[in-house]
Amino acid sequence: MSTRTVLHEADIARALTRISHEILESNKGPDDLVVLGIPTRGVTLAHRIAALVGEFGGAEVPVGALDVTMYRDDLHRNPTRTPQPTQIPPGGIDGKVVVLVDDVLFSGRSIRSALDALQDIGRPAAVRLAILVDRGHRELPIRPDFIGKNLPSGRDERVNVRLTEHDGIEAVTIEGPVTGA
């Protein structure tokens, strides 16, 4: 396997800053926003984005976590997934603009699961999607509203997001088969 780093710490910070500004512009300010991360690294990114949106917009933005484990359509293939707690901020999501945050968008199935989970919690005014890395290969008609980095990749490659809070380092890498052997 070969590994190459495609985003370093400064690149990730710049991408999250840009996404936060785009969210504020799209929403015309921080009012009625709720940011929900999809575990595990999506939650960390959601907290960072909510803090930046709050800083740039001048108002605190509620942030939480949305576990999608029991809504996934691949539990029969990956039964070892451990559910994480769903944490909806006080005030809920009804009538709010919910920004779902995840680290990598690949097939779109996690996001479909998140939309199903949201439906059980409430009725947002709108749902937007913020992704750090969009690697393509969609199996469902899902497109992010806010993208940190478009990263075309092969199906046989693996995109890894490493965040300081979880991994002790900050980077996005691609692992793939060694070529030219």
pLDDT value of position 73: 76
Alpha carbon dihedral 52, 99, 28, 16, in 10-degree steps, equals 30
pLDDT value of position 177: 77
Q: 47 pLDDT exceeds 80?
A: yes
Q: 101 pLDDT exceeds 70?
A: yes
Q: 121 pLDDT exceeds 80?
A: yes
- Point out which residues pair with 158 in neighbouring strands: 175
Q: 181 pLDDT exceeds 70?
A: no
Specify the 3-state DSSP secondary structure of 16. Answer: helix
CATH (residue range 9-73+86-152): 3.40.50.2020
Higher pLDDT, 48 or 137: 48
Q: 80 pLDDT exceeds 70?
A: no
Beta-sheet strand order (sheet of 126-134): 63-65, 33-37, 97-105, 126-134, 146-150
Q: 33 pLDDT exceeds 90?
A: yes
Q: Please give the share of the chain, as a percent, with pLDDT higher than 70.
A: 94
pLDDT value of position 91: 94
The count of other CB atoms within 10 Å of the CB of residue 31 is: 11
